Structure 1
Amino acid sequence: MEYKDYYAMLGVEPTATQDEIKRAYRKLARRYHPDVSKEPDAEARFKDVAEAYVALKDEEKRAAYDDVGARYKRGQEFTPPPGWDSGFEYSGGEADFEQDLDRSDFFESLFGARHAQSRGAARMAGGDHHAKVQIDLLDVYRGGRRTITLRTPQADASGHVRLQERQLDVNIPKGIRSGQHLRLAGQGGPGFGDAPAGDLYLEIEITPHPLFRVVDRDVYLDLPVAPWEAALGASVALPTPDGRVQLSVPPGSSAGRKLRLKGKGLPSTPPGDLYAVLSIVVPPADSDKAKDAYREMAKTFSGFAPRRSLEA
């Protein structure tokens, strides 16, 4: 069935007050009432206007409609949300609603049987909410508890859906990765009637780190070394998210070589690895002594051809 935009039917904005909705209804009801209107589609338009007003004049119905409407646009195919339970009574002080007007299938799917005999309450499970939360790389290694602030939609007393801030304490499991979700049961949209609230799904995003790069469950670090450390080998201090370790640089290492620290990546089963990617840093020739050292090096390595691979 087609989703109906009740606000558009009454010519009001979704932010309209209850008084504005009532005034709009009365104006359109007088215009399209079958007893007075000469317009060819007056009866159908009158039924649409009456149906829209029935849905929006009641704050609880309006809040339920707004919650469903957040997922749809006018003219889209509509399927009743899971957990929706009918049960509204068609009653109200307006004389126009004492008539047995046929309601649309869309209205029936939301607000209950066509001839409800007893007054009930709308029962619909709350909608699930989704948000993205950023965590530090250390949170992934160690886990822990974080307080996060979210702006989530909440229905106010008039049935309008507003963004409101709220704080939640969240357990960050050790080893979680970017793109994974944490489910917080009952922290989503409120249910209507005695139906349960929806869930909140937090998509994890690891904040970029100035030193480390995360690829799947592996962690990469660019490790600068001096030319003599690469050529002769060395033991260097390497920072890791778990603290500093000593790393052996093998003799004859070149730029771009990856040195693996097994199991030092993200915690998982099995754990990831940490890779130190070598980059060779050349000392500046900023003094006569340094320049002389480079001239002596050029003599020592006179047969070295760094661009031999380009000659082909």
Structure 2
Amino acid sequence: MEYKDYYKIMALSREASQDEVKRAYRKLARKYHPDVSKETDAEAKFKELGEAYEVLKDPEKRAAYNELGTNWKSGQDFKPPPNWDEGFEFKGGGFTGGDAGDYSDFFEQLFGRAEFQSTHAGERHGAHPRGQDSHAKIHIDLEDSYHGATRTISLSTPEMTAQGQVQVKHRSLNVKIPKGIKPGQHIKLAGQGNPSMGNGLAGDLFLEIALNTHPLYRVAESDVYLDLPVTPWEAALGAKIIVPTPEGSVDLKIPANSKQGSKLRLTGRGLPTKIPGDFYIILQIVLPPADTEQAKAVYQHMQKTLDFNPRQSMGGLIP
């Protein structure tokens, strides 16, 4: 995936005001509009310009984009830094123009396709409009979902200065993480969204949950997976070994003649959701290195005494 330098596309400095962004777009849109432009690559330029404007005209998207830093060059191979967008508050409303399908992979990797619908309290609170809801993503540890926790989170809210510049305001909140919450679910904090323009209630803040990368486990829906290294003799002969889980170690029986990738299940030991997930152990057979004369002798003995050809099932395809 290639990095897109939206400031370069719009011929702007990173310090440009929002008014300058608008003026640059109007000027370049006239130049590259496919209906009037004589440029050979007008359509592609116009599409690229629209994407850049979609980001830079929106203070929230622009502030998040700026977090990627200034060390990237247009066209450079790009992968978003881990948790790069954590704690950024976005108002409801989603895309503000164009067809989502017109955006590049770079745009969708950063901002996705999801559209949060704003709630305006004029519909629910009479004459005093309610503030907009806001949304942010936070990362928690897997153990927080297993046991529940209270965490202090930092949020970054883009704001416009009187000079039309985008600045980021920071705040901290104590958040209760409920036991059994899954990635993609939301925690609602009533009244912690955007303030009302009048005397109405503030909007709500919705925190989307993501999980920090764990050194041992990975999660799919409510199920948890562990890749477990085992020796060839443990897989071949069977064994009883101690296995770590987020809820503590358990004694696991490995059946004899287990194969690489065999899946063992501990029912109900996944995420403690309303319907608890399962915990899966995936066997990974690890061969000892033949790095000593003794180890080589063992392998040579196996070669001579075991009638074993792992390619036999391939028939005549292998000589």
* C-alpha displacement of 1:192: 2.5
> 8 Å contact 1:232–1:252 — kept in the other structure?
yes
Matches within 5 A, 1:4-153: 82-84=120-122, 123-153=128-158
- Root-mean-square deviation (CA, aligned residues, Å) is 3.3
Taking a change above 3 Å as real, the CA distance of residues 71 and 191 of structure 1, as seen in their structure-2 partners, is farther
Q: Secondary structure at the match of 1:311?
A: helix
Question: In structure 2, how many angstroms separate the alpha carbons of the residues matched to 1:74 and 1:223?
Answer: 48
Structure showing greater radius of gyration is 1
**Where does residue 262 of structure 1 map in the other structure?**
267
Per-residue deviation, 1:15 = 7.4
- 8 Å contact 1:153–1:189 — kept in the other structure? no
Q: For each residue in 1:263-289, what CA deviation from the matched residue of structure 2 results, as whole angstroms up to 9, or x when unmatched?
A: 111102221111110111111111111
Instruction: Check the 8 A contact 1:146/1:172 in 2, yes or no.
Output: yes
Aligned 8 A contact 2:120 2:131 in 1: no
User: 1:299 pairs with 301, 304, 307, which one?
Assistant: 304
Q: CA deviation at 1:69?
A: 12
**Structure 1 length normalisation: TM-score?**
0.60
Higher alpha-carbon deviation: 133-142 or 206-215: 206-215
Residue 247 in structure 1 maps to residue 252 in structure 2: yes
Cα distance per residue 1:155-209 (max 9 Å; x no partner):
7799998531000000000111111111100000011221000000111111121
Q: Is 1:191 aligned to residue 196 of structure 2?
A: yes
1:218/1:307 Cα in 2 relative to 1: closer, same or farther (>3 Å)?
same
5+ residue gaps in structure 1? 1-12, 17-67, 86-121
Aligned 1:213-228 pairs, distance under 5 A: 213-228=218-233
Report the equivalent of 1:25.
none
Shift in alpha-carbon separation, 1:74–1:221, aligned structure 2, 3 A: closer
Q: C-alpha distance in 2, partners of 1:281/1:74?
A: 53
Q: 1:125 touches 1:196 (CA, 8 Å); kept in 2?
A: yes
**Residues of 2 paired with 1:221 and 1:138: CA distance?**
15
- Counterpart-to-counterpart distance in 1, 2:136 and 2:211: 14
Secondary structure, counterpart of 1:175 in structure 2: coil
- 1:311 maps to a residue whose letter is G
Cα 1:244–1:74 shift into 2, 3 Å = closer
Q: Distance in 1 between matches of 2:155 and 2:223?
A: 30
Q: Report the residue type matching 1:150 in the other structure.
A: L
Q: Which amino acid aligns with 2:243?
A: L
- TM-score norm. by structure 2 comes to 0.59
Offset at residue 123 of structure 1 (A) = 3.9
The answer to whether the 8 A contact 1:235-1:249 is kept is: yes
5+ residue gaps in structure 2?
1-16, 21-90, 99-117
Query: In structure 2, what is the Cα distance between the partners aligned to 1:180 and 1:227?
Result: 41
Residue 310 (str. 1) matches residue 314 (str. 2): yes
Q: 1:176 aligns with which of 158, 164, 181?
A: 181
> What is the aligned-residue identity percentage?
51
